[in-house]
Amino acid sequence: MGISFFYLPAASMAWGVLGHRIVGQIASTYLTPKAKAAIGKILGNESIAMASNWGDFIKSDPTYDSISAWHYVDIEPGLSKEAVIDFLNKDTAVDAYTKINFLVKQLKNGQLPAAKKQFYLKILIHLVEDIHQPLHVGRHEDMGGNKLKVSWFTMPSNLHRMWDEGLINFQELSYTEYAAAINFTTPLQRKEMQQKNLKAWIYDSYQVVDKIYAGIQPDEKLSYQYNYKFIAIVNQQLLKGGIHLASVLNEIFG
């Protein structure tokens, strides 16, 4: 626990390109006008959706090697809610939880130089999205499912990649079509989701991890039934990610 590991180059990297953009696109629909204007000033012509992938793209640049451990938080399996919250309260590792807190604090400081502000904002967007991919909060022993090989129809894959992109790509929608298809909440749901904090969001993902591991076998051949079983949870995580990202951004800039 708390020991960092590297995703191998061949391993997949968090929500795939599409997943990140879907969350970013949904987030942009819940921003206050003030937050929207402030973010527009920082990102220029780039939308939140398109800026979402930058945190993964920079993994190809050795300059940014030190932030590879920012994308996930390792929490051991089988903990109660209280134990997860307690773990996070004491967490001092370099991980998604401590770095999201760091970035929020930095961005609330109006004195940041423009380049740094843009860097921090893009990474913050990416990391808040990442922690809603459940396999970014567990498990350490198989690198968030990267080491658990499965096949997806006829293609070799792994559990992590299934949740990054296998299920999402299977829907055959663009990110704007996908966001439009799932972005439905009631005002009450939005209020409830926004009242939770980062620790609760991580705990929500943590609970999904148990469901993902229940019954999965190494080398299992996954296909239509896996989509049927899990697509609603994937969509729920994408939607929650968008609403939560908007609430973080509104808190900072709104």
- Options 130, 164, 165, 204; binder of Zn ion; rule CB under 5 A: 130
Nearer to Zn ion, 14 or 125 (CB): 14
Contact call for residues 84 and 204 (beta carbons, < 8 A): no
**Nearest residue to Zn ion on Cβ basis:** 14
Counting contacts by CB under 5 A, is residue 71 touching Zn ion? yes
- If one asks whether residue 23 binds Zn ion (CB under 5 A), the answer comes out as no
Question: What are the backbone angles phi and psi of residue 40, rounded to the nearest 5°?
Answer: -60, -35
C-alpha to C-alpha distances, 79 to 88, 126, 151, nearest whole angstrom: 12, 26, 29
Which of 61, 56, 138 has the alpha carbon at shortest distance from 97? 138
- Smaller CB distance to Zn ion: residue 36 or 71? 71
Q: Which residues lie below 8 Å from residue 84, measured CB to CB, with a gap of 6+? A: 75, 199, 202, 203, 206
Smallest distance, Zn ion to C-beta of residue 34, A: 28
- 21 scored as a contact of Zn ion (CB under 5 A): no
Which residues, 6 or more positions from 96, have their beta carbon under 8 angstroms from its beta carbon? 70, 71, 72, 73, 127, 130, 131, 136, 137
Judged by CB, which is closer to Zn ion: 7, or 36? 7
Least Å from the CB of residue 70 to Zn ion: 8
Q: Which of 7, 12, 14, 238 is close enough to bind Zn ion by CB under 5 A?
A: 14
Residues that bind Zn ion (CB under 5 A): 14, 71, 130
